[in-house]
């Protein structure tokens, strides 16, 4: 049984893709996944069932008890309001499961709900309390205070979750050390990965002048970073390189993006698309204007696997081994990012060379290979549960 913030199919965001690939490893290990989610459509449920898995959705309900639940949240120190129906369902299903896994921060608070017996797995996609602390440092006033309170709640939840879990799945060496300090009993490092089809794209296949940004816009670092780049950087690109185009794709609320892009030359806000691989294939350059957040970004790995040079910030490309000048260009301000984009648009041969080097850097980041140690642990749990 795996609990997720939203049903992970189709994998239209980095978080969904990571959850889906980990659930596939459970499937390969011989267990039939049963996916619980806070959000998802009837169509998504059918897509999950088409994979041979079970799926159900338990959204938060607004009831007169909500103030009491909020009080409980404050007293216990959980980052999200308690969901008693979901907790009861986790407890019920766990009694007959081989594996019980909680994906991402919203579900970590239920790790200890599972019955004894199955392999209990915490799967944080980030060191969220640490990341929220960085958000608080960048904010001020009431917003900074709100974020610090949430960070404290999150740290308590992370600590409870990893101590209750038999194993914690970590994304990077940094996160692995962080969760061990919080008391994780055992960790398995599964870095973010990429799908094999991206390695097959020709480095020279991008359309001249086409720049791509892709991500999920419910995630503030993506949304706010792109808005800042649009307002403070992009207009210099078509001014210096006529014909340059910025294509913005991904899921989530695009209202802030549309507002920032209004009147700017060469910006196309496409939103959710059917084929992200085709979008990456069509790009000459991928831009990553991200100044907050943490962890490794799947979009950066995917761009590198596709042999696309990246122009990004240090935060945007961190913990991947990205080297300035070898795999693209590392720039910090919106104006510097724009200048870096122009630099590579005017020297496409250099961009192709950097893209090839970027692909070589992430050659070992295929999902199936990265998940093998975890898959072996899943298989042990399945074998123990079927004796």
pLDDT tens, 92-107? Answer: 999 999 999 999 977 9
Q: Report the DSSP beta bridge partners of residue 269.
A: 248
- Tokens read off for 120: 């209990």
309-368 pLDDT, tens digit each: 999 999 999 888 899 999 999 999 999 999 999 999 999 999 999 999 999 999 988 888
State the Cα–Cα distance between residues 271 and 277, nearest whole angstrom: 15
Instruction: Confirm or reject CATH 1.10.150 for domain 2-190+371-385, answering yes or no.
Output: no
pTM: 0.79
State the pLDDT at residue 296: 67
Mean predicted confidence (pLDDT) in 281-298: 88
State the pLDDT at residue 293: 79
Sorted by where each begins, the domain ranges of the chain are: 2-190+371-385, 196-361
State the Cα–Cα distance between residues 251 and 220, nearest whole angstrom: 13
CA-based end-to-end distance of the chain: 19
- Residue 302: how many other CB atoms lie within 10 Å: 24
Is 196-361 in the same CATH topology as 2-190+371-385? yes
Residue 271 exposed, middle or buried by CB count within 10 Å (0-12, 13-18, 19+): middle
Instruction: Confirm or reject CATH 3.40.50.2000 for domain 196-361, answering yes or no.
Output: yes
Q: Which residue has the higher pLDDT, 142 or 13?
A: 142
E strand or H helix at 255: helix 255-261
The answer to whether 121 and 168 are in contact (CB under 8 A) is: yes
State the pLDDT at residue 82: 83
- Residue 298: how many other CB atoms lie within 10 Å: 24
State the pLDDT at residue 65: 53
- Residues ≥6 apart with Cβ < 8 Å to 230: 257, 260, 261, 264, 267
State the pLDDT at residue 387: 46
State the pLDDT at residue 63: 61
154-210 pLDDT, tens digit each: 999 999 999 999 999 999 999 999 999 999 999 999 998 888 889 999 999 999 999
Sheet architecture: strand order including 2-6: 54-57, 34-39, 2-6, 99-103, 119-123, 167-170, 187-189
265-288 pLDDT, tens digit each: 999 999 999 899 999 999 999 999
- Determine the 3-state secondary structure of 55 from DSSP: strand
Mean predicted confidence (pLDDT) in 50-59: 96
State the pLDDT at residue 48: 96
């Amino acid at each position: 049984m795996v609990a997720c913030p939203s049903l992970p199919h189709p994998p239209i965001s980095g978080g969904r893709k990571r959850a889906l690939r980990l659930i596939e490893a459970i499937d390969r290990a011989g267990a039939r996944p049963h996916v619980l989610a806070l959000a998802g459509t009837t169509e998504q449920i059918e897509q999950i069932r088409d994979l041979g898995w079970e799926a159900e959705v338990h959204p938060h309900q607004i009831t007169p008890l909500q103030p009491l639940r909020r009080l409980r949240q404050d007293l216990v120190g959980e980052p999200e309001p308690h969901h008693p129906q979901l907790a009861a369902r986790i407890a019920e299903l766990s009694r007959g499961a081989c594996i019980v896994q909680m994906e991402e921060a919203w579900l970590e608070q239920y790790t200890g709900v599972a019955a004894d017996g199955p392999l209990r797995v915490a799967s944080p996609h980030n060191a969220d309390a640490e990341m929220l602390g960085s958000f608080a440092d960048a904010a001020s006033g009431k917003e900074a205070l709100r974020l610090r309170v949430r960070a404290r709640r999150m740290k308590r939840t992370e600590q409870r979750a990893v101590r209750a879990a038999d194993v914690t799945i970590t994304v990077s060496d940094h996160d692995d050390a962080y969760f061990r300090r919080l008391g994780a009993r055992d960790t398995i490092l599964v870095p973010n990965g990429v799908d094999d089809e991206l390695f097959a794209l020709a480095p020279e296949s991008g359309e001249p002048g086409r720049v791509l940004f892709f991500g999920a816009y419910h995630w503030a670092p993506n949304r706010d970073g792109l808005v800042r780049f649009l307002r403070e950087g992009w207009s210099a690109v078509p001014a210096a390189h006529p014909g340059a185009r910025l294509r913005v794709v991904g899921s989530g609320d695009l209202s802030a993006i549309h507002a920032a892009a209004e009147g700017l030359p060469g910006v196309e806000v496409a939103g959710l698309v059917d084929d992200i691989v085709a979008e990456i294939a069509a790009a000459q350059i991928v831009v990553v204007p991200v100044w907050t957040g943490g962890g490794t970004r799947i979009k950066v790995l995917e761009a590198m696997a596709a042999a696309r040079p990246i122009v990004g910030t240090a935060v945007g490309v961190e913990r991947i081994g990205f080297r300035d000048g070898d795999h693209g260009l590392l720039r910090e301000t919106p104006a510097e990012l724009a200048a870096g984009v122009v630099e590579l648009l005017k020297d496409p041969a250099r961009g192709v060379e950097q893209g090839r080097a970027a692909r070589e850097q992430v050659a070992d980041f295929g999902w199936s290979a990265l998940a093998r140690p975890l898959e072996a642990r899943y298989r042990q749990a399945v074998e123990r549960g079927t004796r």
